[in-house]
Amino acid sequence: MVLFTVVSYLFLHLILVGFGEIAHEVEEEIVLNGTAPMPTYHPDVIIYESQKTPEDYGKIFTIVFSVLIAFFIVYIIFKLKATAIKYLVMIAMYISLTYSLRGLLINFPLIISLSLSAFFVFLLISKISPTEVKTTILALVVGGIGALLGSMAYPYIWASILAIMMIYDLIAVHKGPMKNIAKASIEMDIPLLIKIKGENAEHYIGLGDYVFPMSLIASLLKYGSLGYAITSLCGMFIGAVVAL
């Protein structure tokens, strides 16, 4: 768990720097030409737009509502056809990896990130891929999503989002269908959980349990300070150890 968190943080830090450079370049193009140099659906434009108005409290509703809608879609698909979740997750992984690699490979054409993302998704679903490879790819996913979400809002807004998501998580895990979805993920080898080996048993932690704290850490790195970010990272370690 410690190694995965550290690797995720390193990816997050590097990707966050890349996102900052991308946003700066897009902004320069807009100032010079009056418009972005690429379509609105281009990852670079979305990265730029995500960093605008980080002080907007409305993003609390936007992010929480988006998470709930995403979970609702997963739940409906799970009820209709559980095996279809794997394909949905692979699409989500591909998109996430594209953004992650875009932040790391800012000096390369977008097609490189798109191609590598497809290859990494293949490695994730391949039964012959070593666990270490899959875990590293998932750390890249966590770092990329955390960097993108974290740059959307100031730390105090993310603290509010985490408080809301904590309540949601308690309900979804203990009274909702989260346990069944997690069980199906394990049975179908869907990369939504990270396996943690304890002294007497194996434990699983969902990617969301990494992504949202990492989003706060990314926000602290971008809009706060490195010291606060490291403190939050240590708090994440302690919380995970206590929970396990």
Contact present, 4 and 209 (Cβ < 8 Å): no
Top pLDDT among 14 and 40 is at 14
Query: In terms of residue numbers, what domain contains 18?
Result: 2-243
Backbone angles phi, psi at 192, to 5 degrees: -115, -10
pTM for the whole structure: 0.86
Which tokens sit at 179?
Answer: 């346990």
- Does 193 score more than 80 pLDDT? no
Q: Write down the pLDDT at residue 240.
A: 63
Mean of the pLDDT values across residues 128-156? Answer: 91
Q: Percent of the chain scored above 90 by pLDDT?
A: 39
Q: Write down the pLDDT at residue 74.
A: 78
Q: Write down the pLDDT at residue 116.
A: 96
Q: Write down the pLDDT at residue 197.
A: 65
Q: Write down the pLDDT at residue 114.
A: 95
Q: Write down the pLDDT at residue 166.
A: 84
Give the total number of structural domains in the chain.
1
Q: Percent of the chain scored above 70 by pLDDT?
A: 90
Q: Write down the pLDDT at residue 208.
A: 79
Q: How many residues does the chain have?
A: 244
Range from 1-10, 31-40, 41-50, 161-170 carrying the lowest mean pLDDT: 31-40
Which tokens sit at 206?
Answer: 């969902």
Q: Write down the pLDDT at residue 218.
A: 92
Q: How far apart are CA 5 and CA 165, in angstroms?
A: 20
- Does 188 score more than 80 pLDDT? no
pLDDT tens-digit map of 65-100? 988 888 888 778 777 776 777 888 889 999 999 999
Question: Which single residue is written with the structure tokens 């993108």?
Answer: 148
Top pLDDT among 213 and 207 is at 213
- Does 220 score more than 80 pLDDT? yes
CA 187 to centroid of chain Cα atoms = 23
Q: Map residue 12 onto helix, strand or coil.
A: helix
Mean of the pLDDT values across residues 94-118? Answer: 95
Contact present, 93 and 141 (Cβ < 8 Å): yes
Q: Where are the alpha helices (DSSP H) in the chain?
A: 2-33, 43-50, 58-80, 84-104, 110-125, 131-150, 155-174, 178-187, 207-223, 226-243
- Does 2 score more than 80 pLDDT? no
Top pLDDT among 175 and 137 is at 137
Contact present, 240 and 1 (Cβ < 8 Å): yes
